[in-house]
A and B are shown apart, each in its own frame.
Chain A
Amino acid sequence: MNRNYIVLVVIAIGLAIGILLMDNTKRNNEIDPETLAVNYNDPSRFLSIDEVTDRLVRKDPGMLLIDVRPAEQYKLFAIPGAINIPIDSLLTSSTLDLMSMVEMDKVLYSNSGATSDQAWLLMERLDMPAVFVMEGGINNWFKNIVQATEPSESAPQEEFDVYSFRLAANQYFYGSSDKPKSAEIKVVKKAPVVRKAPAPESGGGC
């Protein structure tokens, strides 16, 4: 008989015995797809930038802001207080230990939100508790916190409140801005000395 056939038969018998010896404990600890889909569509998995900023300013110990972008991008610009765990190292055992902490809200962000959404899916499938996504990512944060724009005059009071909060947060993170809002400073010229003509000596007239 062909020697190759004997080798294949031995392998097949080995695999069959392996199947017989398997125990039935479930090793796949992922949540079921239906729960995943329901959680994915639940808007409460998003935190707004203002909420995240507020908790950063208050130095909330119950929140961990995680930048899931590559390390180079993190070095270039990141939200102050965020730690960097690139998406490709999310599944290391130390990260998973960190992620499985129940008492800590883990907030993920990336540039626009696509990568952080993927990271959220990875974590949610592994049933990690309290994982959130910062809405709009760092682009949204940059646009609204770093470059906060004043609402129009007819805007409701709430918008002004949000604006002043964002402005304050901006100053908290980056100090007062280098350039004053009005670029030109008018140098006050020396007030011209007005010399009065000497009063005419009184002398009659009449």
Chain B
Amino acid sequence: MVAPLIPLEQIPEAWNNVFAVLLGMGFGFTLESSGFSSSRKIMGTFFGYDFVVLKVFFTAAITAMIGIFYFDYMGWMDASLLYINPYYVYSAILGGLIMGFGFSLGGFCPGTSFCGVAIGKIDALVFSLGLFLGILLFSELYGLFEGIYNSHFMGGSKIYDLIGMKEAVFGALLIFVAIGMFFGATWIEKKVDKVIY
């Protein structure tokens, strides 16, 4: 964390947690001030009255992607050295289903639930307790899940390699998809009845 200052020992390792807390507080503050601590706002994506979550995450993704493309092109960074999360096919699908189910049922994702707890929301508190219960159950029953958890490992694979597309074409397409999604989402928002929350 806080690379490259800590790995190069410009800042002692012990500061890691201090930075983690400060960055976490900043992240939480931004989430809360943008209204992400409200489960109704988050649920808007599923009911079609508020697509802000989808827009925020899509914007973050394409901003980072454009940045990496251009920084790599200018020689400021080497994109081939980036760490890519390893891809376990079944884990990703199952985890995605469970996460999505919990997300739509409770109206929070882990980060926003802690935001909700911080401002004293009872539903967020219950959601967070459930989260810890889930962690405990998973840890205790790890032996049962281990086979599925580690199956179909595909390493740090990239989506454009898997579908055999050129990197630049995929990047440009994703930007066009994002633009289309923004207008589509706004169009749906207008069609759906406003929900006051």
Chain A residues near B (Cβ < 8 Å): 5, 9, 12-13, 15-20, 22, 26-30, 32-33
Contact = CB atoms under 8 A, between A and B. Distances in A.
A26 to B, nearest CB: 8
A20 B74 contact: no
Interface residues of B, number: 21
Given A27-B73, A27-B75, A20 B179 contact: no
A19 B81 contact: no
- Is chain B's interface secondary structure helix, strand, loop, or mixed overall? helix
B77 A28 contact: yes
A9 B171 CA distance: 15
- Is chain A's interface secondary structure helix, strand, loop, or mixed overall? helix
Interface stretch (B23-31, B64-72, B135-143): B64-72
A105 B73 CA distance: 33
B77 A16 contact: no
A33 B62 CA distance: 27
B172 interface: yes
Contacts of A19: 66, 69-70, 168, 171-172, 175
A2 to B, nearest CB: 10
Contact of B72 (A12, A17, A28, A29): A28
Interface string B69-90: 1101111111001000000000
B178 A20 contact: no
Contacts of B62: 12
B153 to A, nearest CB: 23
Given A19-B66, A19-B69, A22-B168, A28 B176 contact: no
Contact of A13 (B74, B75, B179): B179
Contact of A22 (B73, B76, B77): B73
Contacts of A28: 72, 75-78
B93 interface: no
Nearest to A9: B179
Contacts of A17: 172
